[in-house]
Amino acid sequence: MVSNYRGYRPPQGMVSWALHRLAGLGVLVFLLLHIVDIFAVGYGPEAFNELLFIYRHPVFRVGELILVAGLYYHALNGVRIILVDFWSQGWKYERQMFQAVIALFLLTFIPTALLMLRPLF
Amino acid sequence: MQVHLRIQRYNPEVDAKPYFAEYDVEVEPTDRVLDALNLVKWYHDGTLTYRRSCAHGVCGSDAMRINGRNRLACKLLIRDVGTNITIEPLIGFRIIRDLVVDMEPFFEAYKSVLPFLINDDPAPVGERLQSPEDRQRFDDTTKCILCACCTSSCPITWTNDEFVGPAAIVNAHRFIYDSRDQAAAERLAILNQKSGVWRCRTVFNCTEACPRGIQVTRAIEEVKRSLLTGDVS
Ligand code: SF4
Ligand code: SF4
Ligand code: FES
């Protein structure tokens, strides 16, 4: 089945869809992790605060950055999909909207990344 | 000019699995990929198997994957694909032999959307007249030649056998918006099922692949919106 995906030279729309899926699944995995760490609140504020040290670890910081990338892309491309679904002219501008998604993604992600990685240096 | 063809071959009676065979043939830049296939079959290896009939982009029999995209071999010029050409069968169907796949599931899906005029009024003496504007409403989807380029390009159909696929929806669209037809509600109900339009994730692969230039995703989205609003005008 995976070989099917390799067998087709992806047009732009397929790239946007594959990224959307990947980002969506990534965010889902983080959500599960988040449920686990919130669970620690049940053991009192000290336990919770202690657990938060993981989030300051550099490896985790980079992981969070990937999460933010996934969130931004999924949100922006989600708006594009909504427009394709509900705006009767959406199909016409599908490609331009994808380019806009990429542009807005870079515009928002780069400053966020700089802010988030600053404490590491 | 000389072109190098890599063609996926598979004869289930003797081969354990598909493999690639390579051929060099002499063609003109203005020849079609189908001409190159014919040269192989006629002068190199008569066992090469593929479908073709009209050779003019009308019958829809020679859809195949050419350099990784679904195309009609008879509509694609050599000069537009370059000198290294990889040819594989359509994805998502059982291979019968070489480039010939089992299209039965494709036509089953097509038949499931009632792709014919349904009108219980007594037939008029002449024709069932329709204004040019009403005819224009579904003009785009009348152009389908049932080649399966779209359905087989859709990533959803590769993993979901139930999805009726874009071609069936295009052909439902052709009647849903026809002012002479009376079964729009029935077809919409069929496409509202689990196997229907909601499986479409607006990937646009179908639109990119359609050799007739049909705005396939647009048609699917119109059906989706009709299901939401109940408006079939
Ligand atoms: S637009 Fe819909 S039907 Fe067409 S390829 Fe994409 S998911 Fe499949
Ligand atoms: S909609 Fe286009 S790609 Fe799909 S079957 Fe019809 S002609 Fe072929
Ligand atoms: S042979 Fe008929 S469409 Fe190509």
B168 plus B149 within the same structural domain: yes
B14 plus B96 within the same structural domain: yes
Task: For residues A51-66, give the mean pLDDT.
Answer: 82
Question: Phi and psi (nearest 5°) for A49?
Answer: -60, -35
Cβ contact B165:B106 at 8 Å = yes
How many other β-carbons are positioned within 10 Å of the β-carbon of residue A56?
10
Spell B165-189 as b/e; 16+ CB within 10 A means b.
bbbbbbbbbbbbbbbebebbebbbe
B122 plus B70 within the same structural domain: no
Number of folded domains that form chain B: 2
Spatial distance between the Cα atoms of B55 and B61, rounded to a whole number of angstroms: 9
B119 plus B81 within the same structural domain: no
Q: What is residue A58's predicted lDDT score, i.e. its pLDDT? A: 83
The residue from B101, B131, B149 where one domain ends is B101
- Beta-strand runs (E) in B104-214: none
* Residue A2 falls inside a structural domain: no
Spatial distance between the Cα atoms of A19 and A84, rounded to a whole number of angstroms: 17
CATH number at residue B160: 1.10.1060.10
- For chain B, how many residues are written? 233
B167 plus B216 within the same structural domain: yes
- ipTM of the predicted structure? 0.84
Q: Which of A1, A16, A85 sits opposite B221 (nearest CB)?
A: A85
Cα B115 to averaged position of ligand 1 atoms, centre (Å): 20
B175 plus B118 within the same structural domain: yes
Cα B3 to averaged position of ligand 3 atoms, centre (Å): 21
Q: Are strands B2-9 and B84-88 parallel, antiparallel or unpaired?
A: parallel
Q: Which of A9, A81, A88 sits opposite B202 (nearest CB)?
A: A81
CATH number at residue B30: 3.10.20.30
Q: What is residue A35's predicted lDDT score, i.e. its pLDDT? A: 87
Q: What is residue B152's predicted lDDT score, i.e. its pLDDT? A: 97
Spatial distance between the Cα atoms of B150 and B154, rounded to a whole number of angstroms: 6
How many other β-carbons are positioned within 10 Å of the β-carbon of residue A112?
14
Q: What is residue A62's predicted lDDT score, i.e. its pLDDT? A: 87
Tell me the pLDDT band of A2, cut-offs 50, 70 and 90.
low
Q: Which domain holds residue B96?
A: 2-101
Task: For residues A43-61, give the mean pLDDT.
Answer: 81
Mean pLDDT of chain B: 97
For residue range B180-204, list pLDDT tens digits in order.
999 999 999 999 999 999 999 999 9
B91 plus B147 within the same structural domain: no
How many other β-carbons are positioned within 10 Å of the β-carbon of residue B25?
20
Tell me the pLDDT band of A44, cut-offs 50, 70 and 90.
confident
Spatial distance between the Cα atoms of B10 and B61, rounded to a whole number of angstroms: 19
* Residue A5 falls inside a structural domain: no
Closest CA to ligand 1's atom 5: B154
Task: For residues B5-23, give the mean pLDDT.
Answer: 97
| C-alpha separations of A83 from A91, A98, B166, B231 in Å | 9, 11, 20, 19
Q: What is residue B188's predicted lDDT score, i.e. its pLDDT? A: 98
* Residue A4 falls inside a structural domain: no
Q: What is residue A3's predicted lDDT score, i.e. its pLDDT? A: 66
Q: Which residues of B touch A1 (CB under 8 A)?
A: 158-159
Q: Which domain holds residue A97?
A: 12-120
| Whole-structure pTM value | 0.91
Question: Phi and psi (nearest 5°) for B176?
Answer: -55, -40
The tokens describing B118, both together, are 């349904």
* Residue A98 falls inside a structural domain: yes
Which has more confidence, A59 or B173?
B173
For residue range B94-149, list pLDDT tens digits in order.
999 999 999 999 999 999 999 999 999 998 999 999 999 999 999 999 999 999 99
Closest CA to ligand 2's atom 3: B210
**Could you tell me which chain B residue has the CA closest to the CA of A91?**
B218
Probe target for ligand 2 pocket from B103, B150, B173, B206, with the most ligand atoms within 8 Å of CB: B150
Q: Which residues of B touch A9 (CB under 8 A)?
A: 67-69
pLDDT at A1 over 60: no
CATH number at residue A42: 1.20.1300.10
